[in-house]
Amino acid sequence: MSKQGTMPKVTTMSVRQMKKTGDKITMLTAYDFVTASLMDEAGIDIILVGDSLGMVVMGYESTLPVTMDEMIHHTKAVTRGTKRAMVIGDMPFMSYQVSVEHALTNAGRFMKEAGAHGVKLEGGREMAENVRKIVESGIPVMGHLGLTPQSVHQLGGYRVQGKDKSAARRILDDAKILEQAGAFSLVLECVPASLAKEITSSLTIPTIGIGAGVQCDGQVLVVNDMLGMFDMFTTKFVKRYAELGKEMRRAFSQYIEEVKKEKFPSDAHSF
């Protein structure tokens, strides 16, 4: 890897190429400038400003309350921290379902106001027309199938999708429809690894899995989950690469104790 800034930017073309060459695509979520800068320096391919923001940053019980303004605010911070990675803005609940025009306007906001390089939206065949129109206007669209958290109440909870034959068939067909509609990639969330493998080999666009096995063209995790900073619930597909939550608790306790006991600031931290 050469110096930052001299590395070519990740684009829709390069991720398609990565599928062809078998080079795995790496994606993580981020919601702020510092985290995005660190990920970008580490060489992440795609940064998703996920509407998971609602749960892991804002403390909502689901992603449903997240607004366009909140998403724009955080996407702006992430794009400012990014030189190489492709930044995708996640369209929040009810920002693209009402009408094609509404979807187009909101997708445009991610590009114009926040400097995103594309958008993601949840849903299959029922979203095909919206995907087509957004893509026709020049905005790259990432699809999202399987467990679609914005439909949590319809799905009856956060559970694995596509377990029986007809449900699996429907997800596979939806994937092909989204590809036809012009999506440049597809998130597969919480589906059996065998189904994700079949979808991946049936499409020319890359699949990015979360709880969908190793055969996807790439992987995504929510940054707070993989850093051990979100404890409200755990899922099987999350691997913790650090325990920052524990480390933060330790640091906060030590600070409180040292201030109380006048150990901080010491002479070294005073003028």
**Identity (one letter) of the amino acid at 59?**
G
Beta bridge partners of 207: 186
Nearer to ligand KIV, 49 or 255 (CB): 49
Query: How far is the C-alpha of 6 from the C-alpha of 26, rounded, in Å?
Result: 19
Tell me how far the alpha carbon of residue 154 is from its chain's centroid. 21
How many residues of this chain interact with ligand KIV, rule: CB under 6 A? Answer: 11
> In this chain, which of 187, 195, 227, 229 binds ligand KIV, going by CB under 6 A?
187
* CA-angle at 95, arms to 94 and 101, nearest 5°: 115
Binding mask 209-248 for ligand KIV (x = CB under 6 A): -x---------x-x--------------------------
Nearer to ligand KIV, 93 or 128 (CB): 93
CA-only gyration radius of the chain, Å: 20
Instruction: Enumerate residues 98-117 that contact ligand KIV by CB under 6 A.
Output: none
Strands (E), 113-203: 118-120, 141-146, 185-189
Tell me which of 189, 198, 258, 262 is the catalytic residue.
189
Locate 44 and state its tokens.
């992440």
> In this chain, which of 28, 85, 88, 90 binds ligand KIV, going by CB under 6 A?
90
Nearer to ligand KIV, 55 or 111 (CB): 55
Beta bridge partners of 189: 146, 210
Minimum Å gap between C-beta 220 and ligand KIV is 5
In eight-state DSSP terms, residue 84 is: S
Locate 114 and state its tokens.
């926040």
Instruction: Enumerate residues 10-69 that contact ligand KIV by CB under 6 A.
Output: 29, 48, 50-52
Minimum Å gap between C-beta 186 and ligand KIV is 11
Minimum Å gap between C-beta 195 and ligand KIV is 17
Q: Give the SS3 label for residue 244.
A: helix
Tell me the helix, strand and coil percentages in the chain, rounded to 5: 45, 15, 40
Binding mask 140-179 for ligand KIV (x = CB under 6 A): ----------------------------------------
Query: How far is the C-alpha of 91 from the C-alpha of 24, rounded, in Å?
Result: 25
Nearest residue to ligand KIV, scored by beta-carbon proximity: 50
Nearer to ligand KIV, 81 or 146 (CB): 146
Whether the CA torsion 219, 223, 224, 227 is positive or negative: it is positive
Active site residue 189: yes
Minimum Å gap between C-beta 254 and ligand KIV is 32
Contact 30, 71 (CB under 8 A): no
Nearer to ligand KIV, 11 or 62 (CB): 62
Q: Which residues bind ligand KIV (CB under 6 A)?
A: 29, 48, 50-52, 90, 187, 189, 210, 220, 222
> Mind telling me the catalytic residues?
189
